[in-house]
Amino acid sequence: MGKKKICICVGHGRNAWGRYDPGAVSKDGSYHEHKIARKIAKYAADYLGCDLMNYDGRLCLSGRIKAVNAGSWDFVADIHLNAGGGTGTEVYYYHGSPTGKRAADEICKSISQALGVRNRGAKVRLNSAGRDYFGFIRQTRPCAILVETVFIDSDSDLAKIKTEEGCKKCGIAIGKALEKALNEGNAK
């Protein structure tokens, strides 16, 4: 089997009604999830030499899902920042997918080490029907993960990625982790 075709997607940017959707914001409102996520995603895609989707923020969630399903990628990752009062990095994967789990594990480890943030681990989140909670994971055809890089509403986490240098570190950490996770088992 050859090299996996990867697409890195940027979370948020536009809501279903066509309005700007910043995603989560920092405590003081000056940092937007979409704007930081797109820098991180671009560094990851540049590192991997793979496709990058929604850098311009023109696609809402259903638009990204549609675009993913219209493409020929083997693996897709949607890049986000977390919020809600925690700290650290966590990655969600499609339940029962060994490839998704391996990628999620590697990304958590890689971001945690590169930025010096807590590793919250690879996770599965199901809805009340027992299906995957996140639409990006549930409704996409390729193996999909959702990366919650760090918490934008934590001052200590935000400090790690609010600079260009921080976004670069985080993006490259994601790229290296995917390179390792998705090439395992392939002859080098």
List interacting residues with Zn ion (CB under 5 A).
Answer: 11, 23, 80
Query: Whole-angstrom Cα distance, residue 167 to residue 59?
Result: 22
Per DSSP, the residues of 98-141 read HHHHHHHHHHHHHHHHHHT--EEEEE--B-TTSSBSSHHHHS-S
Q: How far is the CB of 80 from Zn ion (least distance, A)?
A: 3
Q: How far is the CB of 11 from Zn ion (least distance, A)?
A: 4
Q: Which is nearer to Zn ion, 38 or 80 (CB)?
A: 80
Q: Which is nearer to Zn ion, 4 or 32 (CB)?
A: 32
Q: Which is nearer to Zn ion, 106 or 148 (CB)?
A: 148
Q: Which is nearer to Zn ion, 4 or 151 (CB)?
A: 151
Identify each DSSP E strand in 13-164 by its residue range: 13-14, 20-21, 51-53, 75-82, 89-93, 119-123, 143-151
Q: How far is the CB of 57 from Zn ion (least distance, A)?
A: 12
Q: How far is the CB of 38 from Zn ion (least distance, A)?
A: 12
Q: Which is nearer to Zn ion, 13 or 166 (CB)?
A: 13
Q: How far is the CB of 152 from Zn ion (least distance, A)?
A: 9
Query: Whole-angstrom Cα distance, residue 65 to residue 88?
Result: 27
Q: Which is nearer to Zn ion, 115 or 146 (CB)?
A: 146
> How many CB atoms neighbour CB 12 within 10 A?
26
Q: Which residues, at least 6 apart from 106, have a Cβ–Cβ distance to it below 8 Å? A: 177, 178, 180, 181
What are 123's strand-pairing partners?
Answer: 92
Q: How far is the CB of 3 from Zn ion (least distance, A)?
A: 28
Element (H, E) at 7: strand 6-10
Query: Whole-angstrom Cα distance, residue 52 to residue 15?
Result: 19
Residue of closest CB approach to Zn ion: 80
